[in-house]
A and B are shown apart, each in its own frame.
Chain A
Amino acid sequence: MTTTPLLALRGICKRFGALHALTRVELEINAGEVVALVGDNGAGKTTLVKVITGAGPADEGVIEWNGRPVRIARPRDAQSLGIASVYQELALCESLDVVGNLFLGHEICRAGVLDEVAMERRARELDLLDVLSVRIPRTRVPVASLSAGQRQAVAIARALLSEPKILILDEPTAALGVGQTAHFLDLIERLREHSLGVLLISHNLGDVKAVADQVAVLRLGRNNGFFDVLTTSQEQIVSSITGATDNAVTHRKTRPWEATR
Chain B
Amino acid sequence: MLRFALRRLLIAIPLLVVASILVFVLVVNTGDPLEDMRTNPRIPKGQIALQEHKLGLDQPVTVRYWRWVSKAVHGDFGKDNKDRPVWPQVKRALFVTLRLVLLAQIIAVLIGVTIGVISAVRQYSWFDYAATGISFFLFSMPIVAVAAFLRYIGALRVNEWLGRTKNPLIKVQGDRTFPSKCTPNNPGACGLRAGLYDFATHALLPTLALLLITYAGYSRFQRASMLETLSSDYTRTARAKGITERRVIMRHAFRNSLIPVTTIMALDFGAIIGGAIITETIFEWRGMGRLLIDSINKIDPNILLCWLMITATCVIVFNIIADLLYAVLDPRIRLG
Q: Do A and B bind each other?
A: no
